[in-house]
């Protein structure tokens, strides 16, 4: 069923078409929700909402407030709302389109300067999977890149765009050649999870048992900072202020984002997130975090003044990365004991310039 496009404002007082005033948040992936406010959204009945030709589940429906869940297969583009197809109006929306499935990311994917995406198939603790890391090219063709790392966890690039991978199983960080061959870069990193380079080429490794290590270009190892242990992983990102930002979910539902100075002094940047995980900055200094805010899961955006809002709604989000074309790659992990890993990657045309960290 196709909707007729209509403007989102009423032409006159007698116009019975819906009027949409706001849609929140800015983006969503399938399984996430949009909150719609306006008037005449249902005309006294049950609102009818579609994304393209795909009908969506209306969770809450009234004339002035609708909560709609984004269905699987929803296209990026426009959402239509009305009591029937003839009266429906269109609203542009940012919906994530699935670009890969059957993955098992436990942290951020990474994107190289050519737009290729790299994502882990991490597997259960101590379990060697057939593929450790996939490379997804710009034609969305996913191919195995690395096959010999157990529990591949964190990914990062250095300034020359060499890929590095941490293993939470053996505590090593591996250096990867363009052909996918691996060599040990550093070992003895405990339960090695998040990894990131600073401007000087020093590598930082998060041992989730409570330590952030700093490894110099000469591969000298230092204890850079100590934090509360994480029940899952540390996730690391450098901000435009050259502070190291760290998340690590604990048993609390009110977790913090830590900020660490170049001397290793730890302070709290923001508190109030549920299970914060992967992070990325944009060029405006906004921090994007896979987390829950106010009970809603997705990607939270925190501005430099430490003010937070939900930017993207979606379940099971564990990581994110920006592409050179200003899109947002969103990684989910929906693993279960009965079905195993069911992680996916989504692409959202966010129009946001990510901060180049390599």
Q: Is residue 358 part of a domain?
A: no
- What is the structure's pLDDT at 213? 98
Identify the CATH number of the domain in which residue 178 sits.
Answer: 2.120.10.30
- What is the structure's pLDDT at 358? 63
Q: Using DSSP bridges, classify how beta strands 308-313 and 296-302 pair: parallel, antiparallel or unpaired.
A: antiparallel
**C-alpha 324 chain-centroid distance:** 16
Q: Is residue 1 part of a domain?
A: no
Q: Is residue 284 part of a domain?
A: yes
Residues 72 and 160 in one domain: no
Residues 287 and 250 in one domain: yes
- What is the structure's pLDDT at 3? 40
- Complete DSSP assignment for 203-234: EEEEETTTEEEEE-TT--EEEEEE----SS--
Number of domains present in the structure of the chain: 2
**57, 68 in Cβ contact below 8 A?**
yes
Domain boundary among 45, 80, 95: 95
Sheet containing 65-69: order of strands = 19-24, 33-39, 65-69, 57-61
Q: How many Å apart are CA 28 and CA 44, to the nearest integer?
A: 27
Instruction: Quote the domain boundaries for residue 171.
Output: 97-348
- What is the structure's pLDDT at 7? 43
Nearest partner of 67 among 41, 87, 86, 43, judged by Cα: 41
Residues 277 and 215 in one domain: yes
Residues 67 and 159 in one domain: no
* Residue tagged 């053996």 (tokens): 170
Q: Which 3 state secondary structure label does DSSP give 85?
A: helix
Q: Is residue 8 part of a domain?
A: no
* Contacts (Cβ under 8 Å, ≥6 apart) of 40: 10, 16, 17, 18, 19, 63
Q: How many Å apart are CA 26 and CA 36, to the nearest integer?
A: 11
- What is the structure's pLDDT at 337? 61
Residues 72 and 185 in one domain: no
- What is the structure's pLDDT at 219? 97
Nearest partner of 328 among 65, 94, 20, 25, judged by Cα: 94
Domain boundary among 48, 77, 95: 95
Residues 63 and 113 in one domain: no
For residue 93, what are its two tokens? 């929306």
Residues 170 and 311 in one domain: yes
DSSP 3-state helix, strand, coil percentages of the chain (rounded to 5)? Answer: 0, 50, 50
Q: How many Å apart are CA 337 and CA 319, to the nearest integer?
A: 21
* Contacts (Cβ under 8 Å, ≥6 apart) of 337: none
Residues 101 and 118 in one domain: yes
Identify the CATH number of the domain in which residue 47 sits.
Answer: 2.60.40.10
Residues 219 and 266 in one domain: yes
Q: How many Å apart are CA 250 and CA 213, to the nearest integer?
A: 20
Spell out, as residue ranges, where the chain has pLDDT lower than 50. Answer: 1-13
Q: Is residue 356 part of a domain?
A: no
Q: How many Å apart are CA 211 and CA 246, to the nearest integer?
A: 11
Residues 88 and 204 in one domain: no
Domain boundary among 95, 118, 150: 95
Residues 177 and 231 in one domain: yes
- What is the structure's pLDDT at 45? 80
**How far, in Å, are 241, 281, 357 from residue 301 at the CA level?**
17, 9, 18
Q: Is residue 354 part of a domain?
A: no
Residues 152 and 203 in one domain: yes
Q: Is residue 12 part of a domain?
A: no
């Amino acid at each position: 069923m196709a909707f007729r496009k209509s403007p989102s404002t009423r032409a006159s007082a007698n116009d019975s078409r819906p009027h949409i005033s706001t849609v929140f948040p800015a983006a969503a992936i399938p399984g996430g929700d949009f909150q719609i406010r306006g008037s005449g959204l249902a005309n006294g009945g049950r609102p009818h909402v579609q994304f393209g030709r795909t009908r969506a589940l209306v969770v809450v429906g009234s004339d002035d407030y609708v909560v709609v869940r984004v269905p699987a297969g929803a296209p990026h583009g426009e959402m239509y709302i009305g009591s029937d197809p003839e009266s429906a109006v269109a609203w542009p929306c940012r919906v994530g389109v699935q670009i890969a499935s059957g993955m098992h990311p436990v942290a951020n994917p990474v994107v190289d300067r050519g737009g290729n995406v790299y994502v882990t198939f991490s597997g259960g603790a101590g379990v060697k999977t057939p593929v450790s890391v996939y490379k997804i090219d710009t034609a969305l063709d996913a191919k195995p890149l690395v096959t010999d790392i157990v529990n591949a966890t964190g990914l990062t690039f250095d300034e020359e765009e060499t890929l590095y991978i941490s293993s939470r199983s053996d505590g090593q960080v591996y250096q990867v050649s363009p052909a996918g061959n691996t060599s040990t870069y550093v070992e003895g990193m405990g339960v090695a999870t998040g990894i990131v380079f600073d401007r000087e080429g020093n590598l930082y490794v998060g041992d989730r048992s409570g330590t952030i290590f700093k490894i110099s270009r000469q591969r000298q190892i230092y204890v850079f900072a100590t934090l509360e242990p994480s029940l899952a992983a540390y996730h690391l990102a450098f901000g435009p202020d050259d502070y190291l930002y760290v998340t690590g979910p604990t048993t609390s539902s009110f977790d913090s984002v830590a900020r660490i100075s170049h001397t290793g002094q730890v302070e709290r940047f923001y508190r109030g997130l549920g299970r914060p995980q992967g992070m990325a900055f944009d060029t405006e200094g906004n921090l994007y975090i896979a987390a829950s805010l106010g009970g809603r899961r997705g990607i939270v955006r925190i501005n430099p003044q430490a003010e937070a809002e939900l930017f993207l709604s979606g379940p099971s989000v564990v990581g994110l990365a920006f592409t050179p074309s200003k899109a947002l790659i969103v990684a989910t992990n929906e693993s279960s004991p009965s079905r195993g890993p069911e992680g996916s990657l989504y692409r959202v045309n966010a129009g946001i310039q990510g901060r180049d960290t390599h």
